[in-house]
Structure 1
Amino acid sequence: MSPLVLIVDLIVLIVGVTAGYFFHRYQAEQAAKARQEKADDILKAANSQARLIESGARENAAKITKAAESEVKERRIELSKETERLDKRRGELDSRFDKMEQREQTLNKRQSQVDKRANEIDKLYEDQMKKLEFVAQMTQDEARKELFASVEKEARGDMARIIRQIEAEAREEGEKRARKLIADAIQRVASEHVAEVTRAVVTLPSEEMKGRIVGRNGRNIKAFEQAAGVDVIVDDTPDSVTISCFDSVRREIGRRALSKLILDGRIHPAHIEKIVEDETKAVEKIINEAGEQAAYEANVTGLHNEVLRMMGRLKFRTSYGQNQLAHAVEVSKLAGILAAELGANIELAKQGGFLHDIGKAMDHNQDGTHAGLGAEFCKRYGVNPIVVNAIASHHHEVDQDTVEAVIAESADAISGARPGARREDLEAYIKRIRTLEEMSMSFEGVQQAFAIQAGREVRILVKPDTIDDLSSARLARDIAKKIEETMQYPGQIRVTVIRETRATEYAK
């Protein structure tokens, strides 16, 4: 290609670029001009709209100003009227105040006359009292003391009669209501007579077995006592040995282990330890299952596993022949029925009845009463405070804070006192009868005391010249209170005081 052609092409390119630049610049100016015109139109429209809004605002302001002036005018009129009313009321109050001052002056005059008359009456009263003292030959203080003594004596007699009447009426009505509740509760629970007792006697197939149990130089019996933690008593009782231990669970483990050893026939120290260990695990399983089963039967839920395990230990604990775990279930059911009748919390009452004797499962290992130990144990495992109070207070060692605690105690008494629930041995029975009679004889004025009806009632003969009819009621109440505070017994004991006066003459 020649240089001339290149120069021509270059010139054409420069001219094209220049023309394009000026064309685009022209278009940009036209677009800017169009935007400016559009902006001017928008500004004009905005100014017009602003003028319209300003005009409307001025009209609204004028209306509001006019309304405010009208309201201020009305308020001024109302204030003027209120001022007139206040001025009128002030005038009335001033007039009334003047009248009150006049009345006060009149009352002051009358008061001075009354005071004068009162002084005259006091003087007449003093003269009359002097004349009365002269006639009666005693001072006012002496007459007052004699009158008070006479009134006090009469009032005490009336008070004793009223108290006796009220007590009789309350007792009659309370007995009717309580009898109905108790009968209904017992009927609905329908528990069987409790006759099961944890026996500590193991029957032997023959007398020869005693020698095998003892072993050479007593090694078998020593190994058994050491492994089981019990005492084995081998005496002259035919075909039997006795397991003795204060812990009912260990006693049960010993009984089961010894029975199994007798059936197995292999009695030597190594085998004894294995059998005792096996029976310990078996009894622990029975305890766990017994606690869960008892809670299920009593329909008590939400208890910790340790609480249920401790309750299961009561399966091997008895009191007066009554199994304590069965007693706990029965008390829980009775408490639930009584709570439903009385409108109390049924769940808490049932828990309190179920757990009230849980301390008996541990009172042989720790110091303290079973009520206190049980309450502390349940508190440790998150039992409701109301239930803890019911456990701690069912023997009145602490105050009963709720009606559920009273219901638990009542259910406990019903379960222990119902027919066939408990039994006691002859020695304890005789001791309780003797204690009843000696306690009754310790009161002043008592002539004789007889415990009758298997210790359910004590009849007291008093000296008629020392104890009157009204004092007899107080004596019966005092003796009953002392029995409650100092003795432990199933059910209730009736105290009857008899005062008899005899007059004897001889015809000659």
Structure 2
Amino acid sequence: MDYIYAIAALIVGVIGTYFVVGGKQKQANAIQDESHKREAEKILAEAKLQAEKTISEAKLKAEKTFSEFKDKQEAFKKQKIKESREKFQRFKEEFKQEKEDELVELKAKREALREEAAAMKEERAGFNSERAEIAKEQKALVQEEQKLNERTKILDQEIALAKEKQQELDSQHDRFTKELEQIAGLSQAEAKSRLLEEVKNKTANEALNLKRELLEEAKEDAAKDARKVVINTIQRMCAEMTIENTVSVFALDDDKVKGQIIGREGRNIRAIEAATGAELVVDDTPETIVISSFDPIRREIARLSLKRLVTDGRIHPARVEEVVNKTKKELKQQIMEIGKKTVVELDIHGLPNELIRYVGRMRFRSSYGQNLLKHSVETAHLCATMAAEMGLNKKQVKMAKRAGLLHDIGKVAEEDSELSHALYGMALAEKLKEHPIVINAIGAHHDEIEMNNIISPIVQACDAISGARPGARREVLDGYINRIKELEEIAKKNPGVESAFAMQAGRELRIIVEADKVSDQHADELSFKISQEIQESMQYPGQIKVMVIREKRAVSFAR
């Protein structure tokens, strides 16, 4: 391609040069003389030389390019031939290697077949030898069978002789028996029955004596062991004296706050007492207000509400009602937290949330002046200790602790029931799918149902230990609390009564009625009716003031 371009360029150059020279010649002819013509001829000669030079250079360049192309083509051809030979050689070697591998594999298979054939030959020889031995054994067995048949015939003959001898002995025994009956004057059955009766009477007397001795020893040992277990259990427990009472003392920073708590004409203190059901005693004692109520939950609600009101500084009836409602909700959460904390401390697992809440409520309930939660926790520890002292396994010890904690769960019932606290607690535990052993221990710890496991008597004994120890309970306080509760229950039985609170240690009964259901005239009648019911059904010192409070509230909002 370069050679063709060079020739074309040469032709174009010659033609161009010719026309240029021709143009110049014509111009020279027109303007100049013959001297100029010579100069033009000289220029033409130079142009021809230049053209020839250019043509020669182009030829050389074309020849050089063609030579290089030919060399490259030859080199490319040699390279391809070399690669083809190498590829052929590689394929040849791979084919040779494959054939060698196949040959080795065939040799290995042939060797394996030879070994298998040799092994089969050996096995065949072994089978033949075993067949010969089996044939010998069969022949020996046939001979032994013949010998056994001969022996069997001999034994049959001996058995027949033995039967004949047995018949002779039986006939002799019958003859001797008849002779003995004639001599003794008794039949065989009569003698047998008389002998058995004598042996039976003698054995029965000996058994009774042995049973009595064993029972007395067992009672003595059981009494010793029981005393030992109880003493060890009591010694390992250290319980505090009862500290429950019916009043709480609220400390003030300044006596001026007493006026805010009382309010104008006593409306604030009346609102607090009506909302909480506890009585506030504001006297001359400096920086102190006494909160009085037989119900620990009411006292706690009144204390917390009063603390919040004093801290906030805004004390009026509407604010009192708002704070008391909020405090009641928070106390419910606190009861749940107390229950969870108690269960964790006792290492009791899997207790339903409802039972945990009842455990928390026991913190605010007392029995004969003894805090119910402390009594239950103490009983749980005593049960675990006693079960361990008696040698029960770990699972039974944990079950005893669980039953001890829940045995008085019926005392914190949220609804009235005619059942005793033991039976109500048993029904509650059964409803919440508690373990049958725990259910029986709860219901049987006052002998109201039959005990069916070893845990129930342990719970009963530990409940008695916890309640009977010195300083555990106060009989007078419990009677007082029951009388206060009875006052409130008499009032709540009447229709239209919203709530009732016993105040001033039971000397005053405040009854809040629903204004829509009870009129002013009916309120007077209700006050007289309740006072007569109290007078007829209760015994009490002094007199009881019955106050019926009827309040109508109209609430609306401007939007």
Output the TM-score relative to the length of structure 2: 0.51
Cα distance change of structure 1 residues 19 and 315 upon mapping to structure 2, 3 Å threshold: closer
Q: 2:355 aligns with which of 272, 288, 307?
A: 307
Q: Which amino acid aligns with 2:96?
A: K
Aligned to 1:62: 114
2:216 maps to 1:168: yes
Q: Aligned residue for 1:44?
A: 96
Tell me which of 381, 390, 393 is aligned to 1:344: 393
2:147 corresponds to 1:99: no
The 2-side partners of 1:275 and 1:39 are apart by 100
- Report the CA distance shift for 1:155/1:254 in structure 2 as closer, same or farther (over 3 A): farther
Which residue is 1:179 aligned to? 227
Q: Does 1:81 align with 2:130?
A: no
Larger radius of gyration between Structure 1 and Structure 2: 2
Give the whole-Å Cα distance in 1 for the aligned partners of 2:444 and 2:68: 116
Report the Cα distance in structure 2 between the residues aligned to 1:298 and 1:106, rounded to whole angstroms: 82
Unaligned runs of 5+ in 2: 1-8, 13-54, 250-264, 280-291, 308-315, 480-559
8 A contact 1:200–1:255 mirrored in 2? no
Distance 1:125 1:26, change over 3 A: same
The 3 A distance-change label for structure 1 pair 41 and 168 is same
Alignment of 1:95-494 (within 5 A): 95-96=147-148, 98-100=150-152, 102-111=154-163, 113-115=165-167, 117-118=169-170, 121=173, 158-192=206-240, 194-196=241-243, 199=246, 280=328, 284=332, 287=335, 291=339, 294-295=342-343, 298=346, 300=348, 303=351, 306-341=354-389, 342-345=391-394, 346-362=397-413, 365-366=416-417, 368=419, 370-371=421-422, 373-374=424-425, 377=428, 387=438, 390-391=441-442, 394=445, 397=449, 400=452, 407-418=458-469, 421=472
**Residue 226 of structure 1, CA deviation:** 7.7
Gap change, CA 1:223 and 1:27, over 3 Å in 2: closer
Q: Map Cα deviations across residues 176-234 of structure 1 (whole Å, 9 max, x no partner).
A: 22222211110010224x545655999xxxxxxxxxxxxx9xx9999999856799xxx
Aligned letter for 2:117?
A: T
**Cα 1:118/1:272, change in 2 over 3 Å:** farther
TM-fit CA distance, 1:329: 1.4
Any unmatched runs of 5+ in structure 1? 203-215, 232-241, 261-267, 429-508
State the 1:95 CA deviation: 3.0
Distance 1:252 1:123 in 2: 102
Instruction: Mark the CA change 1:116 to 1:410 in structure 2 (over 3 Å): closer, same or farther.
Output: farther
1:173, distance to aligned residue in structure 2 (A) = 1.3
**Equivalent-residue separation in structure 2 for 1:20 and 1:11 (angstroms):** 14
Q: 1:325 to 1:37 in 2, by over 3 A?
A: closer
Query: In the alignment, is the contact (CA less than 8 A) between 1:363 and 1:369 conserved in 2?
Result: no
In structure 1, C-alpha distance between the alignment counterparts of 2:77 and 2:274, rounded to whole Å:
119
- Change beyond 3 A, Cα 1:115–1:201: farther
Q: Percent identity?
A: 26
**Contact residue 363 and residue 373 of structure 2 kept, 8 A:** yes
CA distance in 2, matches of 1:79, 1:364: 93
Q: Quick check: 2:451–2:457 contact (8 Å CA) kept in 1?
A: no
Task: Label 1:123 to 1:283 Cα distance change in 2 as closer, same or farther (>3 A).
Answer: farther
Aligned length: 392
Distance of aligned partners of 1:313 and 1:30 in 2 relative to their CA distance in 1, 3 Å threshold? closer
Partner of 1:494: none
Task: Look up the equivalent residue of 2:393 and give its one-letter code.
Answer: A
SS in 2 for 1:103: helix
Displacement of 1:350 after TM fit? 2.2
Q: 1:114-144 CA deviation, whole Å, 9 max, x = no partner?
A: 3564467458757976997xx68x9979995
Q: Distance in 2 between matches of 1:393 and 1:350?
A: 16
